[in-house]
A and B are shown apart, each in its own frame.
Chain A
Amino acid sequence: MSNLSTLTNGRRSAEQITGDLVPQPFGKRGMIWVSVLIVLCLIGAFAYFRQLQEGLVVTGMRDYVSWGIYISNFVFFVAISLVGSLITAIFRLANVEWSTPLTRIAEIIAVSAITFASLIIIVDMGRPERLYNLLLHGRLQSPITWDVIVITTYFFISLLLLYLPLLPDLKILNGQKTKNLPWQNKIYTFLGSFWKGSEEQFKISEKAISILCIMIIPVAFCIHTVTSWLFATTYRPGWDSTNFGAYFISGAFLVGSGGVIVAMYVFRKYYHLEKYITELHFEKMGRIAVMLSLIYLYFNVNEYLVPAFKMKKSEAAHLEELFTGEFSLMFWFAILVGMIIPIFVMLFKAGRKPFPMFIVGMMIVVGAWFKRYLIVTPTLLHPFLPMQNVPDNYMHYFPTWEEWAITIGSLAGALLIITFFVRIFPIIPIHETITEQHEKAEHISVSK
């Protein structure tokens, strides 16, 4: 079946491919989707406005739980953004050919996620208007400073990795001005008119992409390792772990691939891209996701079972809360739905078909979001000295509507960036697809 589709694909002309892949206007469903996202963003913006006025008192955070879902949401965003480096760079360096149609999906997820990671961390600040102090008085020994540096670097490399491969496609789009809407033409001309597609330009761009692909891998490892160090550099039970960097990175690749799988399914279904995102892609992504889940599971075993074996006093209170206490429901949900069940589903061939993969991808992403919450909050409820001399509400944490609204708004915002991107640019690289078809066609004719 998959072979068949590759064969028929091989016979499609460049015009057909372009016709299939150029950005489509939103349909009715698309409009509803966009409106819902915009409404969610506006509610989030209103909640943030309230927070700016009243102060962080509108959140459920207090002196003990001083970091809440803003921070876990930030970790989630940073995690999911790592997929850009996995699919674009690691696959590229490993000569994985089938990943071509997925690169742009991965890269736009990375860019939008890292954008909102930066925004959400500003939302979490008590004094956002003093952000410039980071430049004025920034101190190099603080993990926050490292985070700011690597996240900015990662953002720009990702943006370039999104932009450079887009240039040949912009030329194609610029070549059919009559079919585009005027505002689209403006964007295309602005972004890509200098690109003539000459051999020299291709050479430069190829070289730049290769260099960026190599650069982005250590930077990607850095952003998530440093993010994990925001926790691991403290003494708190549940955070004080040497395992944290690797644990975070493995989790990040897992949630990122989950996100890509979901996006693959949605784009394929909505834009009828069955010929480009084939079952083969789901099959391969499924295998990769199983591997990633197993790696993440391995680190989870290390993270929870080793301290649980010793049950040091401070760790014990924390672990008991996770395993059997207040957070146990969420904990087992995150472990089972976010890791174990997906592994079992994807081990079977039938489980790696598009629809089951879509469900599994959703499970991974949702499980991962709650996993981040579990990493941040329960630890703060187990300080070394007993929680006393404080009002009752200091000893619990549940996010307020403002926190939910801002968090959901930020998730909606990230989806909105992706949605608008797909409306303006081809989500599957046209030029690369055409080139690959040609190569394949040649290959077939030669072998005949």
Chain B
Amino acid sequence: MKNNNNIPRRDFLFTGLLTAALGGCNDKKNPFAQDEVVLTGEKVKLLSVDGEVIEIDKAFLKPIPDVPHLTNAEEREGIPGKKFVMVIDLARCKNLRKCQSACNHMHQVHPGQNWIKVLGMEDADHTAPYWQPTTCMHCDEPPCVKVCPVDATFKRQDGIVLIDNERCIGCRFCMAACPYSARVFNWEETLMASQGGSEEHHHHNSGPTSVAHQVKGTVGKCDFCPEMTRQGELPHCVSACPNGVFMFGDLNEDTVTNGAETFRFSELIKDKAGYRLMEDLGTKPSVYYLPPVNRNFPYESGLEKETGDEK
């Protein structure tokens, strides 16, 4: 909408991934050689799959046709007929944090911050400890949306709670209001910008769902990967987890899947006695938990990660 003559930032990233995937970042073998592209001499910075910023000629960029270009208003609407839910099976989690690294990487979350946390929980002295991956709950009665003075945080019809980083004034009221501490703030220059990509580039496709769309001085949080779900794919954390902890799906279709297995949502919740966090607050989360019974791994197996990881 804003810069029609520019290729959206999202496309940069996608093509960048493609580049890296095909060529493996190998200089000797240029996957685009047969295309006979005329170099423009203008370089752009891209994100490779290894999380490195690489520089390629602008001529290599191609718009990806299956990502629709949405206006801000369309993105705010969400996908009609959908109601996204996530089910997290605590019995399968061993604190591997693959979800975390995938999410951080794909969203260029600032070092030290996380959109998804794996919390070592112990409710009381004599109760069993367990690992609890915690994302934004995408509440149906979201306190963060209630308090936002400028409608920068909003709830879409498909249930996703998003942030418009072009509108947020950085008052951080939503952070105080969120009982799940799901929100992070971009205290300084965002990762992409500080690595040389100008913040301007992020903004080409200024919709709230642009990939790695983070802006200094505004809030961020887990966004249920709307650019993935729009293409009918799973959020990054879901596909990154080798233990199939996360199941994602549509409440209207009553199905959730972790990629390998698919369940009827209502039956899964019924069989395993699924629950939501802090039900008493009335926030009505869209994330359900299955209790840590008949676990696949002992709690202790996750501790390694804990000690090795804490800085």
Give residues in A with beta carbon < 8 Å to B. Answer: 54-57, 59, 61-64, 66-67, 124-128, 130-131, 133-134, 136-139, 141-145, 148, 230-231, 233-236, 380, 383-392, 394
A138 to B118, CA, bound (A): 36
Smallest CB-CB A-B distances: 5 pairs? A126-B170, A126-B217, A57-B188, A144-B149, A57-B187
Q: List, in ascending order, chain B residues with CB within 8 A of A128's CB.
A: 169-170
Assess the B169–A142 pair: CB atoms within 8 A: no
Docked complex Cα distance between A391 and B175 (Å): 18
Q: Which residue of A lies closest to B277 (CB)?
A: A385
* A57 / chain B contacts, CB cutoff of 8 Å: 187-188
Interface residues in B, total, Cβ within 8 A = 46
Which of chain A's residues has its CB closest to B111's CB? A391
User: For A59, what are the chain B residues with a Cβ–Cβ distance below 8 Å?
Assistant: 187
**Given A126-B170, A138-B150, A235-B281: 13 more A-B contacts, CB < 8 Å:** A55-B216, A55-B217, A56-B188, A63-B181, A125-B170, A130-B150, A142-B148, A145-B149, A234-B177, A385-B119, A389-B100, A389-B117, A390-B112
Q: List chain A residues, Cβ under 8 A from B175.
A: 63, 66
Contact B168 A142 (CB under 8 A): no
Cβ-defined contact, B167 with A137, below 8 A: yes
In terms of DSSP, what is the predominant structure of the interface of chain B?
loop
Closest to B117 in A: A389
CB-nearest residue of chain A to B282: A235
Give chain B residues whose Cβ lies under 8 Å from the Cβ of A61.
187
Complex Cα distance A142/B146, Å? 6
CB distance A385 to B118 under 8 Å? no
20 pairs across A/B with beta carbons < 8 Å? A55-B216, A57-B187, A63-B181, A66-B172, A134-B149, A138-B150, A139-B149, A142-B173, A145-B149, A230-B173, A233-B146, A236-B176, A385-B134, A385-B181, A385-B277, A386-B121, A387-B181, A390-B114, A392-B311, A394-B112
Flag whether B274 is at the interface (Cβ < 8 A).
no
How far apart are the CA atoms of A59 and B172 in the complex, in Å? 14
The reply on B183 being an interface residue by CB < 8 A is yes
Are B150 and A64 touching (Cβ within 8 A)?
A: no
B143 interface residue (CB < 8 Å to A): yes
Q: Which residues of A contact B134 (CB under 8 A)?
A: 385
A134 to B169, CA, bound (A): 9
> How many angstroms from the CA of A388 to the CA of B120 in the assembled complex?
8
State in angstroms the CA–CA spacing of A395 and B179 once bound together.
17
Contact assessment for B119 and A233 in the assembled complex, using a CB-CB cutoff below 8 Å = no
CB neighbours of A233 from chain B (8 A): 146-147, 177
Residues of chain B with a CB closer than 8 A to A143's CB: 147, 173
Query: B114, B152, B180: which contacts A384 (Cβ < 8 A)?
Result: B180
A138 touches B217 (CB 8 A): no
Whether B187 lies near A127 (C-beta < 8 A) is: no
Residue with the greatest number of chain B CB neighbours at <10 A, chosen from A143, A233, A385: A385
B151 at the interface (CB under 8 A from A): yes
Q: Does B55 make an interface contact (CB < 8 A)?
A: no
Give Cα distance in the complex from A139 to B149, angstroms: 5
In the complex, are the beta carbons of B172 and A126 less than 8 A apart? yes
* Residues of chain B within 8 A of A387, CB atoms compared: 181
Is B113 an interface residue, CB under 8 A from the partner?
A: yes
Bound complex: CA A434 to CA B60 (Å)? 85
- Is B52 located at the chain interface by the 8 A CB criterion? no
Q: A127 and B148: CB pair below 8 A?
A: no
Q: Which residues of A contact B117 (CB under 8 A)?
A: 388-389
Specify the chain A residue showing the minimal Cβ separation from B309: A389
In the bound complex, CA of A139 to CA of B146 (Å) = 9
Closest Cβ of chain A: how far from B6's Cβ, in Å? 23
Of the candidates A124, A136, A144, the one having the most CB atoms from chain B within 10 angstroms of its own CB is: A144
Q: A63-B184, A66-B185 are known contacts. Are A391 and B151 too (CB-CB below 8 A)?
A: no
State the CA gap A131–B152 with chains docked (Å): 13
Residues of B within 8 A of A384 (CB): 179-181, 278
Q: Does B189 contact A (CB under 8 A)?
A: yes
**B306 to chain A: closest residue by CB:** A388
Residues of A within 8 A of B171 (CB): 124-126, 144
Contact in complex: A380, B119 (CB < 8 Å): no
* B218 at the binding interface (Cβ < 8 Å): yes
